[in-house]
Amino acid sequence: MAKATGDRDRSGRRLSALARTDRARGVVCVLGGALCWGLSGTCIEYLTQDLGMAVAWATSLRMSFSAIVLVGLCLALRRDELTRLVRDRRSWRDLVMYGVFGCFGCQVTYMMTIANSNAGIATLIEQLGLVIVVAHACIVARRGPRTREVLAVILAIGGLFFICTHGDPTKLAISGAGLGWGLASTVTMALYVLLPARLMKRWSGLSVTAVCITIGAVASVATLRPWEHPLELSPMAVVAVLVTVVFGVVLAYLLFLQGVRSAGPMVASLLDCMEPVSAMVFSAVLLGTLVTGYDLVGAALIVMMMVTVALPDKRIREAER
């Protein structure tokens, strides 16, 4: 009897140790993904501002190469599912909507915001799309906002105020174009989160993303017509484009998915708040972008907003126990 009890205790300790190890691996993966996204945004800033690449080229090249890589991964890992998804007529309306308004829309508005401000500010403003996601949840559920959701909106408005005005409401600290594209990016970021909901219930994230990024790449080329803009592909420009593809799309996506599996969606969402912080740090360190105290205050408020949105309700926490 004592031996059996001891065996169970040792087995329980081993399982607990494995769970902690898996959780730690998940945390590292999510942080790695956030750093990849931040580095990618800095490379886009370098391409559009330092090297003068047109946003039409930066968007089209990034999306096209990303589509090639992701479709290649799908063919290697999920060929059967990819084939079924492409042949499923019921899914095509959602695929096109997500590809055009989610993937392409999010990419081009984000890049235009970077081109007219910087990577750190663009990433922070884009994350305000979470407020739209929360508002959508309230409308769908036909309920009023909860206390934490009201707090998230207040934090978001405060963060935007400090970043855009530097404390002086009579003038803008960023260009009107930067603010306009930034607000557009909040809408497309919300669409990026909301549009694939039905698709993700039936298909894997990798297959959906591969098809929709491909649709978005076609939309970017057809809409932006990059060939009408001059293009000088220096070695550094090629490296920067490849970094945005490999780190900003492929590695960031795969690391985040692994982090969700290992650490859970709540931990992954909280740690993903490091993305705008990493973008601001990379932009300041690698490109010498000026970061003011007002920017830091605004960043802190927006990160607090992201944490507030990511935290689950008390009822959900109790259900998970």
Confidence of residue 274 (pLDDT cuts 50, 70, 90): confident
Within a domain: residue 15? no
Within a domain: residue 5? no
Within a domain: residue 2? no
Residue pLDDT, tens place only, 209-268 = 899 999 999 999 999 999 999 988 889 999 999 999 988 888 887 787 677 667 665 666
pLDDT at 179: 92
Within a domain: residue 72? yes
pLDDT at 97: 95
> What is the pTM for the complete model shown?
0.84
Residue pLDDT, tens place only, 155-214 = 888 988 988 888 888 888 888 899 999 999 999 988 988 888 888 888 888 899 899 999
Close Cβ partners of 180 (under 8 Å, ≥ 6 residues apart): none
Distance (Å, whole) CA 56 – CA 301: 32
Domain residues for the domain of 112 are: 23-320
Residue pLDDT, tens place only, 109-151 = 999 999 999 998 998 899 888 888 888 888 988 888 888 888 8
Distance (Å, whole) CA 289 – CA 306: 24
Within a domain: residue 16? no
Within a domain: residue 18? no
pLDDT at 318: 46
pLDDT at 45: 93
Within a domain: residue 87? yes
Within a domain: residue 8? no
For the chain, what is the domain count?
Answer: 1
pLDDT at 213: 93
